[in-house]
Amino acid sequence: QKEVEQNSGPLSVPEGAIASLNCTYSDRGSQSFFWYRQYSGKSPELIMSIYSNGDKEDGRFTAQLNKASQYVSLLIRDSQPSDSATYLCAGLTGGGNKLTFGTGTQLKVEL
Amino acid sequence: EAGVAQSPRYKIIEKRQSVAFWCNPISGHATLYWYQQILGQGPKLLIQFQNNGVVDDSQLPKDRFSAERLKGVDSTLKIQPAKLEDSAVYLCASSLGLPTYEQYFGPGTRLTVT
């Protein structure tokens, strides 16, 4: 079982819709989670961090963490074509500061 | 604030040749990471430095890969000899560590081994 799992997609949503990206993890010791956006040919860019159960909102982005279900999600409201990218979920594992990434979900926002 | 710098951005070499990558982290970031990202996969940690010391190199193929971080700032990653399967993007990231452990990536080096 992979430590951090994501559906590879592609996930297609129409412009203006809500995109929901999901991630599950196996290490119950993981405390912190991060969402990175990666455009084709570019490096990952940190967009959200979440450290406790519940929701965290930043602009059009909302990260959700449910430690009991070992589940992390990212919601993107009012999706724009510029949001089309691969979204990587990552969790801090190994007792502290080792970041383990999922394989990423490709998001396509269609006009 | 300047981001993580890496060079070169692209490199093409033949198998069995050697190659080196350079990284300069964000100023003040004590922790530096090297990742390998193969197309279609998430980044995989190769080695983690805390200042000058190695914290984790469990996934570094030590028979061919080496890395150092002299003076706790810049770092170099070397591959010798390269294999076809080393074709990937090599990403450097840095972090302040506590309390957020947020990592910030450089632009990466795309390596093609022919």
pLDDT in tens, B11-24: 999 999 999 999 99
Does the beta-carbon distance from B33 to A99 stay under 8 Å?
Answer: yes
| DSSP SS3 for A4 | strand
- Phi and psi at residue A93, in whole multiples of 5°? -130, -175
Closest CA in chain A for residue B106: A43
Which residues are CB-neighbours of A57 under 8 A, at least 6 positions away? none
Tokens 């602009």 found at: A59
Of B41, B89, B102, the CB nearest to A103: B41
Q: Which residues of A touch B48 (CB under 8 A)?
A: 97-98
A93 to chain B, closest Cα gap in Å: 11
User: Is residue A1 over pLDDT 80?
Assistant: no
Of B45, B89, B97, the CB nearest to A98: B45
Q: What distance in Å separates the CA atoms of residue B25 and residue B3, rounded to the nearest whole number?
A: 7
pLDDT per residue as tens digits for the range A8-57: 899 999 999 999 999 999 988 888 999 999 999 999 999 999 999 999 99
> CB neighbours (10 Å) of residue B51?
12
Which residues are CB-neighbours of A109 under 8 A, at least 6 positions away? A12, A13, A14, A15, A19, A79, A80, A81, A82, A83, A84
Assigned token pair, B24? 């300069």
Q: In what order do the strands lie in the sheet containing B19-24?
A: B5-7, B19-24, B75-79, B65-68
> CB neighbours (10 Å) of residue A27?
15
pLDDT per residue as tens digits for the range B49-72: 999 899 999 999 999 999 999 888
pLDDT per residue as tens digits for the range A67-93: 999 999 999 999 999 999 999 999 997
Of B44, B48, B104, the CB nearest to A46: B104
Q: Are A78 and A60 in contact (CB under 8 A)?
A: yes
Please give the share of chain A, as a percent, with pLDDT higher than 90.
83
